[in-house]
Structure 1
Amino acid sequence: MKRTLIGFSLLAASALATSASAQTTITFWDLLGGGDGARMQQIVDGFNKSQTAYKVQRTTLAWGVPYYTKVRTSSAVGQGPDVAILHLSRLSGWADAKILRPIAPAELSGVGMKPSGFFPKLWSASNYKGQNYAIPLDTHPMVLYYNKDLLAKAGLMGADGMPKPINSIATFEAAMAAIKKTGALPVSFETGPNAYMPWRLWLALIGQQGGSIIENNKVTYGKLGASTLATISDWGKKGYVGKNVDYPTSVAQFMNGKAAFMLNGAWEVPTLVDGAKSGKIKFGYGVMPVPKLYATQNTWADSHAFVIPNNVGKPIAGEKLKGALQFLAYANKNAMIWASGGLVPANLGVANSAAYKAMKPNSDYAAVAAQNVTYDPTGWYSGAAGPLEAASAKYFPAAMNGQLSVERAMSLFEADVNKLLVAAPKP
């Protein structure tokens, strides 16, 4: 009897070892910290528990240039991850440099994904020269936060409990002027040295006026570039936004009830929601899409997306590819977890669900923002923490703070842009 039990135990142990060794590991790199990192870990853990064939092994690297440099150089020598997160604003440059592996329609349909299941603009940004290179997870747009109490004090709340309509640059500036008369700060906004928010607002407003930044490797914003920077720089001169305000201070100004509006990314929604639940935020608030100040309602946005690096000499195949695609499909279908971070889910099934529509204030801005996203222009120099944004950050905040004239800021910026347009892609 003892021998039988021992034999059975050995067989069971052997079976478990065989099962474990048969499990395929999918390496996944990202740059997600804080709340985003915790939510992504929840998705990874959920996938790993949902089946036994694959295990996603997640590695998080430092945000921005360090992350993108590591992914790019590792993939070039066949040591990159099986799956990685990429900002869609960087996709064109990476696809051109053949850093990414295309994802075929049959591979998508094989795990239940199809183009019509995503917001059209997000899916379009995932494609380059006729091929799909990414699966969008979200879009994180610039939105307009508002303090109901301060707006009411300025006479800017309607009888319906919503802010009075802002439908032109004139009505927005009139609202800021009315708020300033109450002693409150009209808009909390990042304007400190090397700030990216001025670029994002500038890009959005040029888009609202029907303009573009760069096309066919040439600067195309023309006079709109200077006139738009002049408009937002005037806000600094008139005291509508603070001068030399760093990012944490810009958030604190709104969260502490000092500012009536805040122009910022949707990623600050959890800070607002958690603050209200804990009692730290003591005013009524709301979040809306960036208003239609000109001809359209364009807003700056970027998106996190999953990509498959084109590891040189070691292309993904077989069970690794199958597992990677199943993970991407799982993450997309379970994007409600991700949506709690304020980011708009790319998956229409999630975005149109009753559960998401009940998620406030997220669903108040989601659809309009996602339908009007404006990404950075295509090119190797574009994207999150890329050279184009970095060039703007040297000069646009200085114009808003009165340290450079608008004309000088635009001249210096354009000189940097022209250097980028003739430079070879970075290795």
Structure 2
Amino acid sequence: MVSLNRRQALRAAALGSTALMTAACGSPFASGLAATPLEPGQVAFWNLWSGGDGARAQTIFERYRAAHGADSLEATTLAWGSPYYTKLSLSIVGGRPPDVAVCHLSRLSNFARAGLLTELTPSTLAGAGIDGTQFDAAVWRSGLVDGKAYGLPVDIGALVLYYNTDLCRRAGLLDASGRLKPIRSEVAFRAALAATVQAGARWGLVSPVIADPSSNWRIFDTVYTQMGGPPLLGGNGTRITMDDRVAAESLRWLRDLTTAKLSPDTATDVTSVSLFAAGQSAFLVHGAWQTPTVTDAKVPFSLAPIPQLFGRPAAFADSHTLVFPRKDPAGDPRRALGFAKFFLENTDVWAQGGSLPVYRPVLDSAWFRGYEPVASTTPTKDIAIYDPPAWYAGAGSAMQTLAGSQVALARQGLAGPDEAVRAIRDALAGYAATPSPL
């Protein structure tokens, strides 16, 4: 195993936001610290996709192998979240990284600013027939770090609004084409929930509350931002810029939905989807990635972007990006970029998981424009909000866990809104005061 100096070890642990020992005690993994040499012409690709995403990724992998040879790709799937990011950073600082890896856009700046990724200059991309204009402009801009590109965005996975078409029709909420009529205010939204309960729904709305800090964070961040709240963090995580008043008001509004008996405060990630799939709730607020599960349940449903209930349209989102770990000495990037381009060209497969493709040849295709109900969420790309940059923020991070846990308590009535906001500020203060170890 390649030995790491203390700074390298701290950097890897910080990027993963987990204990270094957790990663070090795992079994050896391909193309990493205990890697074996790759076959000539083979691309090593690391990802964190399991379940349905893993199956769709495997379809793309097999297409690539069919086009380039059975041994052209070594794809390695690792555990989602902090363990994945710790192992990825360890492989880079240890000098044995994969050629290409998946990185959430919300974590991209951490890796880029730590000097662990290869910059994708216009000339480098041009050599593989790739250009920034081939991607949705808003997502491409969101992925730039200090104006430079370090990753190729694959998708947008955002909070969306699922609605039961039978219940909403009975409540008079659908237009002549069978789509949800626009909901343009908080008052209209509450009225819509109440109307569906009157029409026979057990609940107007379900969403994860119990034992799911990340979902609570996503919902809170959406409402808080719509109410005009600034990002919770500033200065790359060195300052807490949360507006305490707006944060408390957003928690108060979320709690009011449960006290009004319009939404349960006991749903988990699984039971929220199950209640909707069983036809017991007219609406579900969840990630677009639940679309296959709801589809398989055979419940009559469609999708819509999260409605603008307050002053600013917003919906929490994150994106998978394809990144190219730094290698010393640097090699020829064309093989790795060729695989990345192939993956992007096949994101029609990826879109079947519910997320929006952002590679314009797929996003603008006639196929995707007719791919309902996922295509109905296309406006989400223009209202997407990502986690603020910080070494302790991003997908599966300490910030999401700490803030989301307090949001859950407030939504259950186990903590008052002001109390929860103070706890969020206190929990993040130590991280903000700690210099980035990257």
If the length of structure 1 is used for normalisation, what is the TM-score? 0.88
CA contact (8 A) 2:226 2:313 kept: yes
Match of 1:395 in 2: 406
Deviation readout 1:361-409 (Å, 9 max, x if unpaired): 111112x011211001111111110111011122110100011111111
1:22: Cα distance to partner? 7.3
Instruction: Please list, as runs of the form range in 1=range in 2, the aligned pairs for 1:334-349 lying within 5 A after superposition.
Output: 334-349=346-361
Identity %: 31
Q: Does 1:297 align with 2:313?
A: yes
Match of 1:266 in 2: 288
SS at match of 1:340: helix
Instruction: Please list, as runs of the form range in 1=range in 2, the aligned pairs for 1:5-404 lying within 5 A after superposition.
Output: 23-52=40-69, 55-181=72-198, 182-213=200-231, 214-216=233-235, 217-222=238-243, 223-276=245-298, 281=299, 284-311=300-327, 314-318=328-332, 321-366=333-378, 368-404=379-415
1:220: Cα distance to partner? 2.4
Report the Cα distance in structure 2 between the residues aligned to 1:121 and 1:418, rounded to whole angstroms.
Answer: 31
Assess, with a 3 A threshold, how the Cα gap between structure 1 residues 53 and 403 changes in structure 2: closer, same or farther: closer
Report the Cα distance in structure 2 between the residues aligned to 1:345 and 1:259, rounded to whole angstroms.
Answer: 28
1:272: Cα distance to partner? 2.5
Match of 1:13 in 2: none
Greater shift, 328-337 or 41-50, is seen at 41-50
Assess, with a 3 A threshold, how the Cα gap between structure 1 residues 120 and 263 changes in structure 2: closer, same or farther: same
Letter in 2 for 1:290: I
CA contact (8 A) 2:100 2:323 kept: yes
CA contact (8 A) 1:23 1:53 kept: no
Report the Cα distance in structure 1 between the residues aligned to 2:201 and 2:222, rounded to whole angstroms.
Answer: 28
1:315: Cα distance to partner? 4.3
SS at match of 1:192: coil
- 5+ long unaligned stretches in structure 1: 1-20
SS at match of 1:201: helix
Q: Which of 395, 418, 424 lines up with 1:407 in the alignment?
A: 418
Deviation readout 1:233-285 (Å, 9 max, x if unpaired): 21122222212311111110111111100000111111223333xxxx3xx31
Assess, with a 3 A threshold, how the Cα gap between structure 1 residues 52 and 418 changes in structure 2: closer, same or farther: same
Report the Cα distance in structure 1 between the residues aligned to 2:271 and 2:213, rounded to whole angstroms.
Answer: 12
Report the Cα distance in structure 2 between the residues aligned to 1:408 and 1:94, rounded to whole angstroms.
Answer: 34
Letter in 2 for 1:317: G
CA contact (8 A) 2:216 2:405 kept: no
1:206: Cα distance to partner? 2.6
1:194: Cα distance to partner? 3.8
CA contact (8 A) 1:30 1:59 kept: yes
Report the Cα distance in structure 2 between the residues aligned to 1:62 and 1:225, rounded to whole angstroms.
Answer: 33
1:93: Cα distance to partner? 1.6
Match of 1:8 in 2: none
1:177: Cα distance to partner? 2.2
1:152: Cα distance to partner? 2.5
CA contact (8 A) 2:201 2:281 kept: no
Report the Cα distance in structure 1 between the residues aligned to 2:149 and 2:227, rounded to whole angstroms.
Answer: 29
Larger Rg: 1
Greater shift, 385-394 or 175-184, is seen at 175-184
CA contact (8 A) 1:195 1:246 kept: no
CA contact (8 A) 2:212 2:269 kept: no
Letter in 1 for 2:314: N
Q: How many residues align?
A: 396
Report the Cα distance in structure 2 between the residues aligned to 1:29 and 1:183, rounded to whole angstroms.
Answer: 44
SS at match of 1:103: coil
Letter in 1 for 2:224: I
Greater shift, 46-55 or 117-126, is seen at 46-55
Structure 1 ranges of 4+ moved more than 4 A:
none
1:104: Cα distance to partner? 1.4
Letter in 2 for 1:101: T
| Structural RMSD (CA) | 1.8
Match of 2:431 in 1: 420
SS at match of 1:177: helix
- 5+ long unaligned stretches in structure 2: 1-37
